[in-house]
Amino acid sequence: MPGERGRGASRVVRPYALTGGRTEPAGAELELEALVFADPAAVAAAELGDERGAIARLCQDISSVAEISAHLGIPVGVVRVLVGDMVADGLVHLYRPGAPGDRPDLALLERVLLGLRAI
């Protein structure tokens, strides 16, 4: 049916439209467990589209790349590209557990674990 075909086609095209056809983030590869948190001042000053705005709102509290994907229903590959762009634009920051010289904040890790269990 034409209506069904149109709906299916939009789901296939939509992720590419969100990322401008890119499949990799502009910077380094983002791990699923990378923690993302928004810079409130930068977000307030920016004009964000629907998906980037949703990511910024969700990341007022710290969220992992995997959590962003799950909560917003956006494929993880698309989230990686969008978050990578937002990092490059200074809208969000990353914390990568296990990076060389990094000491994990146990309270933060416990909150992330509770959040993951809640999904």
Count of the separate structural domains present in the chain:
1
Max mean pLDDT among 18-22, 30-34, 69-73 falls in: 69-73
The pTM of this model reads: 0.67
Measure Cα distances from 118 to 33, 37, 108 in Å. Answer: 15, 19, 15
Does the structure show a pLDDT above 90 at 104? no
Each residue of 73-90: pLDDT tens digit? 888 888 999 999 889 888
CA atoms within 13 A on the CB side of 65: 24
Q: Domain limits at 101?
A: 2-118
Does the structure show a pLDDT above 70 at 5? no
Each residue of 32-67: pLDDT tens digit? 888 999 888 888 887 888 888 889 999 998 999 999
Instruction: Report d(CA 98, CA 75) in Å as an integer.
Output: 24
